[in-house]
Amino acid sequence: MKRYLIYGFLTILIITLNFSFIIVLVTDDVRINYQVLFLLWILVLLAAGGLAYLEKTRKKKEKLAAAAQKPATPDEYLKNPHERTGPSNIYKNKCIKKARIKLAEDLTTKITPGFFGGYVVNEDYSNETVQAVYKYPEQLLGFISKKKEQLCENLQVLYNEPVECWGNIFWDDYEKRFIAKVHIPVLYSEPETNRFKKMIRLKDELLHLENSSDGYDVYTLLEKAENFHYLQQSEIAPPSLDHSINPEILPRLCNELLESRQWEELYQLKKYPVMISQLEQPQKKEVLSAIQKAEQKLKT
């Protein structure tokens, strides 16, 4: 309110000064009129100074009031992950990151080379958070190299629960020791992560069946391979999870059933459409023809 009163007062003074100039021009008593003008100018300057002071005081009070209402800045460990680590350190898009595992030296004698499925989990070790890699079910393999600083930071910031992973362990003749590399999906949705988990489990089971010294049940192998290849058709399926069984297994089984005239078992091969679709054209045609023949035999 005071601000507006001063604005009004200054306006009146300016108008008065204009009239005073007119008086100076038309009167003979110049001395008196100049004194009046000088007095009016002093009043204008004082009023302007008062207005400037009020404006400065008002802004200062508003700033203090705003600061008092602003919530307190949280401690560093309570900040949003993007604030704590910096936007440049958090991956912007979902990705599958590859890293080398620093194998635990006292566990190397228990390590089996080949494909493995497992998980990565943040663990406190010697007053430091490390990213430990486990092979299913609970075998510790080692830790992600600290050289992968951004990956370690993302895993620490983004995940409280274990993260699915897969990889390979192999013997390096040059270094004379086992080398382990792991693939870790980051920022994928829960359904996508579950798809990875199923593919890891199925690939591990397929490898176990194929490498079994006791042989395997061919129908179990085909069922798992069908489920695996169905999941593998997804756009998110990574090359590092690729796997193919012997392409001759299905055609060979089909011929055996056809020769032994086991129509019911032969007709059941239609349960493997993905496996059939991946056969070479001549083999695909033979299998489909045999299934059709079995269907006709069962109807008669």
> 198 is written with which tokens?
């199923």
Instruction: Quote the CA–CA distance of 143 and 135 in Å, as a whole number.
Output: 12
Profile the chain (300 residues) by mean pLDDT over runs of 10 residues: 57 63 57 60 67 66 48 36 56 94 76 92 88 92 91 92 95 89 95 95 96 91 97 93 95 97 97 96 96 93
Query: Tell me, what's the pLDDT at 105?
Result: 74
- pTM of the full predicted structure? 0.67
- Candidates 241, 201, 240, 225; CA nearest to 278 is 225
All structural domains of the chain with their residue ranges = 2-69, 92-229, 246-299
